[in-house]
Amino acid sequence: MRLRLVHTLSLLLLCAVAVAVLAMGSVMAWNLRNGFSDYLAARDAERLEQFVTLVEERAEQAGGRDAFNRRGLDMRELLDAFAQREGLQPDRPRPRPPRDGQPPQPQPQPPVPAEAFGRRVALYDNDGEPLIGRPLPRDAGPFIERPVKLQGEVVGRARMLTIKPVPDAVETRFLRSQYRSIAFVAAALLLLVLAFAWWWAARWVRPLVAIQDATRRIARGELNVRLRIQRSDEIGDVVRNVNRMAEDLQALEGSRRRWIADISHELRTPLTVLRGEIEAIRNGVRALSVDAMASLHEEVLRISALVDDLHLLALSDLKVLPCHPAEADAVQIVQSLVQRFATRAANRGLTLKCDLGSLSRLPVCWDGARIEQLVANLLENSLRYTDAPGEVLITLRCVAARVTLAIDDSAPGVPPMDLARLFEPLYRAESARDRHSGGSGLGLAICDAIAKAHGGRITASASVLGGLRLSIELPASAKVPA
């Protein structure tokens, strides 16, 4: 039988509280027993002192020390007076009245409880000899004593046996009553804790059950599942992580489907053209000429470039994008690319500028071919999507061993909502930069992969020129992961 979490938590809470209640009850019972014994001893000592005071008063009234030594005091009278002073009945049995026509019969003495004061006290002289009252048995147990003083002089001592509770004594009944009360309170607490533990465990387990159900549904492919539990503790963190995981999986699944659709679309266009050209030549509609072969070769190159880009992205996703850092000059890389694209920019009615600041040479340790590919893709993107007349500006800076290369272009710009998605494979901002401008939609994704392979990053933002700003930040000495 599987033990559920709610049962486990309830049992743990109940056991913990049970141990605490039992320990506290045991300590309370032990303290009550010892404390009550101390209380009885203190009460006896106080009563003995009050009795000694009464004896001193009566001895003074009877003649002082001589009356005390001549046993001029009666113990029964002393005990009766002491009982009246304490508001108690005299500690002696009352005789029954005689029946009609019968002489009085001696009545048997009822058993006197061990705590009876008169049976435990006696007066002794200074030599320890019994003086007034019934002598205490020598083997009766421990006793306490107090001096009897007359006119500042000790004339004798009062001794009293310490109390010994018996099962029927009032003190013992009191202790039993207290023990029963402690046991009742402990049982009530345990029942209350059991109910509270069950409720509390169910409250804690309820979100875990919801998480279990949500993860089961996510594993079955229901990626739109979201938990609506609002908590600020660790369970809330788990809920938020599950929701974030579901969102990421849903986005990943959407991206996968979009990838399949976009890749099939990108491959279908050149394949359709290539198929049409081949069928036209095969059916004799078009002659197999140099122009026809050039057209076929152009479509094959387009398909090959697309496949190469897809392969490169696949390598970057596997964290094995091949990069080989070597000593290079960042200024020379930028200048050579500007010279290469200057003619194309002019033909499109655009002005290509370069701002190197005070840099004449910037030694770096990069994979020069990859960085040239990265910057070339960015320049190609700007030249393709910038309207004429327009402007493209390259800026190169180096601060604290961090190289920043930014490319700004003029209108049209990119909507703010599309800036974060520009580096997704096959994504295009359809409103301004569409398929009619050419390209496969993989260039910026490849740029992002190259930047990350060098330990850097690339970001997109609005440009002060009215278009798009693509900023690359790279360490001067790239640490390419193995």
Q: What is the DSSP letter of 388?
A: S
Question: Distance between CA atoms of 200 and 209, rounded to whole angstroms?
Answer: 14
Higher pLDDT, 374 or 429: 374
At residue 434, the pLDDT reads 45
Sheet holding 130-132, edge to edge: 130-132, 121-124, 153-161, 143-150
Higher pLDDT, 35 or 100: 35
Q: List all residues 6 or more positions away from 59 whose beta carbon is below 8 Å from its beta carbon.
A: 65, 67, 68, 72, 73, 148, 150, 155
Condensed to tens digits (0 to 9), the pLDDT of residues 280-304 reads: 888 888 788 888 888 888 878 878 8
At residue 232, the pLDDT reads 78
Model confidence band, residue 250 (pLDDT cutoffs 50, 70, 90) = confident
Tokens 């990626």 appear where? 223
Condensed to tens digits (0 to 9), the pLDDT of residues 309-326 reads: 777 766 666 565 677 888
Condensed to tens digits (0 to 9), the pLDDT of residues 437-466 reads: 455 567 788 888 888 888 899 999 999 998
Beta bridge partners of 475: 402
Q: Which long-range contacts (CB under 8 A, 24 or more apart) does 158-162 make?
A: 158/48, 158/51, 158/52, 158/55, 158/121, 158/122, 158/123, 158/124, 159/121, 159/122, 159/123, 159/124, 160/44, 160/48, 160/117, 160/120, 160/121, 160/122, 161/120, 161/121, 161/136, 162/41, 162/44
Question: Distance between CA atoms of 282 and 120, rounded to whole angstroms?
Answer: 136
Query: Most confidently modeled of 48-52, 74-78, 141-145, 441-445?
Result: 48-52
Condensed to tens digits (0 to 9), the pLDDT of residues 273-282 reads: 788 888 888 8
Question: Distance between CA atoms of 138 and 166, rounded to whole angstroms?
Answer: 20
Q: What is the mean pLDDT of residues 50-62?
A: 83
At residue 110, the pLDDT reads 42
Mapped onto helix, strand or coil, the DSSP state of residue 466 is strand
Q: What is the DSSP letter of 366?
A: E
Tokens 């800076």 appear where? 397
Q: What is the pTM of this model?
A: 0.48
Q: What would the DSSP string read from start to end of 176-233?
A: HHHHHHHHHHHHHHHHHHHHHHHHHHHHHHHHHHHHHHHHHHHHTT-TT-------SS
pLDDT above 50 for 251: yes
At residue 396, the pLDDT reads 93
Question: Distance between CA atoms of 311 and 13, rounded to whole angstroms?
Answer: 58
**CB contact at 8 A, 116 and 91:** yes
The sign of the CA dihedral 195, 200, 203, 209 is negative
At residue 7, the pLDDT reads 66
Question: Distance between CA atoms of 11 and 193, rounded to whole angstroms?
Answer: 10
Q: List all residues 6 or more positions away from 438 whose beta carbon is below 8 Å from its beta carbon.
A: 384
**CB contact at 8 A, 446 and 425:** no
Question: Distance between CA atoms of 336 and 43, rounded to whole angstroms?
Answer: 109
Question: Distance between CA atoms of 446 and 432, rounded to whole angstroms?
Answer: 21
Condensed to tens digits (0 to 9), the pLDDT of residues 357-372 reads: 888 899 999 988 889 9
At residue 257, the pLDDT reads 79
Condensed to tens digits (0 to 9), the pLDDT of residues 196-212 reads: 777 777 777 788 888 88
Mapped onto helix, strand or coil, the DSSP state of residue 21 is helix
Model confidence band, residue 171 (pLDDT cutoffs 50, 70, 90) = low
Mean predicted lDDT score pLDDT of the chain: 78
